[in-house]
A = this chain, B = another copy of it.
Amino acid sequence: MSRANRTDHIRLTSHPEPGRTSAFPIHWGATEARARGPVIGTVSRAGDRNVIGSHGGSYAMYRALAVSAGALDPIRRPDLTNTFPAATIGPFPQWSDPTKIVALDPWGHLVAENFRQEIAEGADIRPSIAVTRARLDLPEIREALAAKRLRADGEVVHSNGSVSVVKIAIDPVWYLPGLAIRFGTGETELRRTLFEQTAGMFPELVTRPDMKVFLPPIGGTTVYMFGDVTKLPDHRTKITCRVHDECNGSDVFGSDICTCRPYLIHGIEESARGAQEGGLGLVVYNRKEGRALGEVTKFLVYNARKRQEDGDAAAAYFERTECVAGVQDARFQQLMPDTIHWLGLKRIDRFLSMSDMKYDALTSQGIDIVERVPIPPELIPADAYVEIAAKKAAGYYSTDIAPEKDVDGVVGRSLEKY
């Protein structure tokens, strides 16, 4: 048996069988799902694949471990019985505008319905979006009820303080030509940079220009919706919205160095209130830990900030991140508006954020923002004034104090005082 005929021969995906094209072409921006075509990241039927990468974001790696451990049959197909969305989202005109949605699959929650036949015939088509319902039970919301800032209505907020939501998990699906436009670069340049700067992850980025869709191994987005979601298509509906980037140390553990959890909880409370007033509330949670630089970088920056000669000063807040990471912020809000487009929204009535980057990203994508709501001063934790002062000085939106005045004097806790 020649080497080429060995049954354990590994075919590098960068160089597939010549002339082979997928049985399922993707026409990004088509007006309906079947014309667009399914997004197929299967690893068990190579001829069906029409994307670079695999489904599940970075959890593809754990699926690979499950196969390694003998716990998961690699050719197994998901049984999607009863998994269909627990609330109707769309379709909306934005779904077929290839300039509006480039970082998610707008039909990703409807694959079982739209590709029933192909799935029955063995195609490995998986949802990249899932829509379910939940009841949130948060101590801060119970406190808001006790303080009569919020009232129970039995629909949105219940008498025990729990809150009803529709929640949606979204895995990233990147249309590379559209992504390149958002980042102001060429598609070839983008592909090459993604390949080189990840140390060669997915050679197909450079060898397969015919593959236009990429499933990157990164965390996704979760959307929490408050109120009657059937009002989503009605453009008169008042929208209250917080777009929140993950900060595990504050969101989960309540670290007092930043305003993340307080602002998030404020977003939940205001979203619930907006829903009670007949509108819709929206909290969008993006997995972009530590300004998308990761938690190791974030903690290194904390140490550098706390050990500066003049203490943890607002004046040097952004500079310290740039010293350690080479960039002040890697979140790149350019892709964030996709979620808002996907929900069919053209306007946010109350935007619960001080970030100019988020504001600019949304408005430059044609989404009107009527009112910007900064975090109420009483919600800012003791050690977080450094962050707030630095952000205001850098031009973040605020309504209260003059931005230049309060930077030099604001100093946080030193490492010895924890």
Contacts and interface: CB of A to CB of B under 8 A. Distances in A.
A19 interface: no
A102 to B, nearest CB: 13
Contact of A194 (B53, B64, B143, B222): B64
Contacts of A418: 133-135, 164-165
A224 interface: yes
Most buried by B among A71, A129, A183, A296: A296
Interface string A52-67: 1110111111111111
Contacts of A140: 139
B415 A78 contact: no
Contact of A199 (B60, B69, B298, B381): B60
Nearest to A139: B139
Interface in A252-297: 252-257, 264, 268, 285, 288-290, 292-297
A2 interface: no
A58 B289 CA distance: 10
B137 A143 contact: no
A130 to B, nearest CB: 4
Interface residues of A, number: 134
Given A12-B203, A293-B62, A197 B326 contact: no
Contacts of A138: 253-254
A10 interface: yes
A330 B192 contact: no
Interface stretch (A301-309, A367-375, A394-402): A301-309
A228 interface: no
B198 A64 contact: yes
